[in-house]
Amino acid sequence: MASLVGAVMTSHVPAIGRAIAKNLQQDPYWKPFFDGYPRARAWLAEAKPDVVVAFYNDHGLNYFLDTLPTFGVGAAAEYANADEGWGIPTLAPVGGHPDLSWHIVETLVDAEFDVTTCQKMLVDHAVTLPMALLWPDADAWPVKIVPITINTLQYPFPSPGRCLKLGQAVGRAIASFDEDLRVAVLGTGGLSHQLDGTRAGFINKAFDMMSLEALVGDPDRLARYSALDIVREAGAQGFELVNWIAARGALGGRVEKVHAHYHIPISNTAAGLLVLENHDRVAVAA
């Protein structure tokens, strides 16, 4: 059976891609951010996942405001990266795991989630930049992926509680998949930030720190917020926190915090990183 080894949650700011392309990792502005990642890479080297299930939000590469599913699951053999207009280099395609993808889709539908199944799918910076941060020296991506999109762009949003349940259902799907795979989950985005409007530049450090703590020991605390509560506390784009909540939901009740990092600001964004090791794999399958 598949084994869910843990989770990595990380920011995905487009400016990170430009910094990587220009080798600015030691630049005084960027160094405090990049210094947070060696421990996450070391944990991944120890955990050796074969597949990463990535919860993220598409930024208009696959869907736009006229056709925007609440939840979408990739079921392709390969996922290409395309130019989104940010001026950052595109990265090599990432291999998929269609069998696991279809098992997740079937499990979600059985759990009464109405998902969009994408047999063709592009991945944007919300997937490729976390991958580049976590495996910066890889000649080819060392893992396959199953991308899962969550609508964070247009109201009505799924509630944080619904996103936690989505993650829990995905966790059950992984635990019941009849193949000897090591799987990690990835949640990307946030933390608090708002890019436009009267609150442009908004960052809420107190809420971010509470969220990092709750994701370890009490994810239900975040699930009790409404979607608009999260927008109020974390900013319009800070609603990406639900990707982290879904990733946490995939894990069991008992986790170990391996590493956490927080830095502000990066391009008007509160940048966060959290690595959790799963210690309750049996509970996920229940």
What number of H helices and E strands is found in the chain? 11, 11
CB atoms within 10 A of CB 125: 24
Q: For residue 193, indicate whether it is catalytic.
A: yes
Tell me which of 12, 59, 103, 125 is the catalytic residue.
Answer: 125
Residue type, 7: A
Tell me which of 193, 259, 263, 279 is the catalytic residue.
Answer: 193
Between strands 255-266 and 269-278, the pairing is antiparallel
Q: Name residues whose C-beta falls within 8 Å of residue 220's C-beta, 6 or more positions apart in sequence.
A: 164
Reading the block at residue 58, the tokens are 């598409």
- Secondary structure class of 255 (helix, strand, coil): strand
The burial of 137, by beta-carbon neighbours within 10 Å (0-12 exposed, 13-18 middle, 19 or more buried), is given as: exposed
Q: For residue 103, indicate whether it is catalytic.
A: no
Residues annotated catalytic, as ranges: 125, 193
